[in-house]
């Protein structure tokens, strides 16, 4: 009996030591996306979770509810809720969804004024408590908010990225999969540029069972007008869901996309993922964030992959980056410290 007790206590001690070695993932914002992120991360056991929100009860209530689901799904990571940045100290990964979502009829850009103020508060909250964290920003308008976050926080540009392209690429692949009656796992694609109506689904980079999408158009497997409809539906993918939900915006696919980035970092998977990353000469741009293919490894945004763009793709990419630049200039008018 005594031996059995000793063995059991040793196992429990080892279990707790392993838990301490787990990564620490703080989620700033416990709303629709934040709560879904927490649940997905817990089930995948990517690390111990701190769910933060200014609405303390929301963070604590969702954390407790998810924790209580461990009796069903059996995950062994810890999760707590808080409104105190001290509890997020020394995070390995921080995923930010703090902000307001769109209402029907609003554009992502309409959120700029409110979410700029919120991201400043978040930057002040994390820059000293988790200076080494890999920070994934999800809050809209994404490209400008992630740029403001990096400037406000002063964290290294390769450790601050935005989530949008994975979501947009997933939407594009889903619509193609339905149209072509092809399992989505057989479709590869990239949507680059800003996360807005000017985003660029890269048809030349899209392959269905390793066959280029442009070939399928030539073979009339999908008409040009149908493909244009799918590109347009991808660009309006967020607004379509906002209209259906009436309150709030998409959260399951955005959360799954954020987890994809966090997992590639935590497990050093070196996946090449479309993310809003800081450009330092790549694609002919500097000192701006835009959606490009990025190798996400334990180093963060380890490398930006420069793919050869068709003339029309480059033209659309330039239009998209111009839109991000113009919105960032608007941000500079709201907060002149960003205009430097």
In the complex, minimum distance from the CB of residue 107 to ligand TXD, in angstroms, rounded to a whole number: 11
Query: Rounded to whole angstroms, how far apart are CA atoms 287 and 280?
Result: 6
Binding mask 82-111 for ligand TXD (x = CB under 6 A): ---------------xxxxxx--------x
Among residues 139, 150, 234, 316, which is the contact residue for ligand TXD, using CB under 6 A?
A: 139
Among residues 32, 129, 205, 316, which is the contact residue for ligand TXD, using CB under 6 A?
A: 32
Binding mask 148-177 for ligand TXD (x = CB under 6 A): ---------------xx--x----------
In the complex, minimum distance from the CB of residue 137 to ligand TXD, in angstroms, rounded to a whole number: 8
92 with 47: CB under 8 angstroms?
yes
Among residues 19, 44, 45, 54, which is the contact residue for ligand TXD, using CB under 6 A?
A: 54
Task: Name 279's bridge partners.
Answer: 288
195 is catalytic: yes
Nearer to ligand TXD, 238 or 300 (CB): 238
In the complex, minimum distance from the CB of residue 193 to ligand TXD, in angstroms, rounded to a whole number: 13
Query: Rounded to whole angstroms, how far apart are CA atoms 340 and 338?
Result: 6
Strands 93-96 and 134-137: parallel
Catalytic residue, chosen from 191, 195, 202, 277, is 195
Cis ω before 333 (30° cut-off from 0): no
* Interacting residues of 59 by C-beta distance below 8 A, sequence separation 6+: 30, 51, 52, 53, 81, 82, 83
Nearer to ligand TXD, 180 or 296 (CB): 296
Binding mask 243-272 for ligand TXD (x = CB under 6 A): -----xxxx--x------------------
In the complex, minimum distance from the CB of residue 9 to ligand TXD, in angstroms, rounded to a whole number: 40
Question: Is 327 an interacting residue with respect to ligand TXD (CB under 6 A)?
Answer: no
60: which 2 tokens?
């604590």
In the complex, minimum distance from the CB of residue 132 to ligand TXD, in angstroms, rounded to a whole number: 21
* Residue ranges binding ligand TXD (CB under 6 A): 28-34, 53-55, 58, 97-102, 111, 115, 118, 121-122, 138-140, 142, 163-164, 167, 195, 238, 248-251, 254
**Catalytic (active-site) positions:** 195
């Amino acid at each position: 009996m005594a031996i059995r007790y000793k063995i059991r206590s040793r196992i429990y001690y080892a279990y707790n030591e392993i838990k301490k070695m787990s990564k620490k993932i703080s989620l700033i914002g416990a709303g629709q996306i934040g709560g879904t992120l927490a649940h997905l991360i817990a089930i995948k056991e990517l690390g111990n979770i701190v769910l933060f929100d200014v609405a303390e009860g929301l963070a604590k209530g969702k954390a407790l509810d998810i924790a209580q689901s461990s009796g069903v799904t059996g995950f062994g990571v810890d999760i707590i809720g808080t409104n105190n940045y001290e509890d997020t100290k020394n995070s390995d990964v921080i995923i930010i969804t703090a902000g307001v979502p769109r209402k029907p009829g609003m554009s992502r850009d309409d959120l700029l004024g409110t979410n700029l103020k919120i991201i400043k508060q978040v930057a002040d909250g994390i820059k000293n408590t988790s200076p080494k964290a890999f920070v994934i920003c999800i809050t809209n308008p994404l490209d400008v908010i992630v740029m403001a976050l990096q400037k406000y926080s002063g964290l290294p540009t390769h450790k601050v990225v935005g989530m949008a392209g994975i979501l947009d690429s997933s939407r594009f692949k889903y619509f193609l999969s339905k149209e072509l009656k092809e399992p989505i796992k057989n479709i590869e694609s990239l949507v680059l540029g800003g996360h807005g109506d000017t985003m660029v689904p890269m048809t030349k980079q899209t392959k269905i069972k390793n066959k280029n999408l442009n070939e399928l158009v030539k073979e009339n497997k999908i008409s040009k007008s149908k493909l244009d409809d799918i590109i347009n539906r991808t660009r309006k993918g967020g607004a379509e869901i906002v209209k259906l939900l009436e309150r709030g915006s998409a959260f399951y696919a955005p959360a799954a996309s954020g987890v994809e980035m966090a997992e590639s970092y935590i497990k050093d998977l070196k996946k090449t993922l479309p993310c809003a990353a800081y450009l330092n000469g790549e694609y002919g741009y500097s000192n701006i964030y835009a959606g490009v293919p990025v190798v996400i490894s334990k180093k963060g945004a380890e490398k930006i992959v420069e793919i050869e763009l068709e003339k029309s793709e480059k033209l659309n990419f330039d239009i998209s980056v111009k839109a991000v630049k113009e919105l960032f200039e608007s941000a500079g008018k709201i907060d002149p410290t960003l205009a430097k």
